[in-house]
Amino acid sequence: MLEKGSQAPDFTLNDKDGNPVSLSDFKGKRVVLYFYPKDNTPGCTRQACAFAGAYERFREKDIAVIGVSRDSVASHVKFAEKYSLPFVLLSDPELKAIEAYGVWQEKRNYGKVSMGVVRTTFIIDENGVIEAVMPKVKPDTNAAEVLELLALN
């Protein structure tokens, strides 16, 4: 997994509307980049809704919020519409950004071992340097912790 102080790898992925979005598009802005396992699952829904609830505070400070998962563009459309998610959701079915950020890891669930996305949030500064890494975050508290870390609460 990437560490604080390292350069955030650039990537280009499609958003929910099928438009290519690159991390470098946000140069000059702080970015909250969060990786999550799957649209419309209980934890991921709570996490996305918490970011949506805090979105205005991020927007006021010109901070971009970007969610990334392996889900398809079509899945992201339904997820964003169902929960009125105002921020960017990117589709990474080929694991380009997911692997570049080191969040594709072995997971254990009820004794079963499999590979999957470890829920992780990165805060990236205006120059593309990772300011903070928040591994294995809890869906219910992640947005509040990010606000606190950025002193936006």
Active-site residue set: 44
- Strands lying side by side in the sheet with 88-91: 20-22, 12-15, 88-91, 63-69, 30-35, 120-124, 130-134
The DSSP secondary-structure symbol of 105 reads E
Cβ atoms of residues 18 and 113 within 8 Å: no
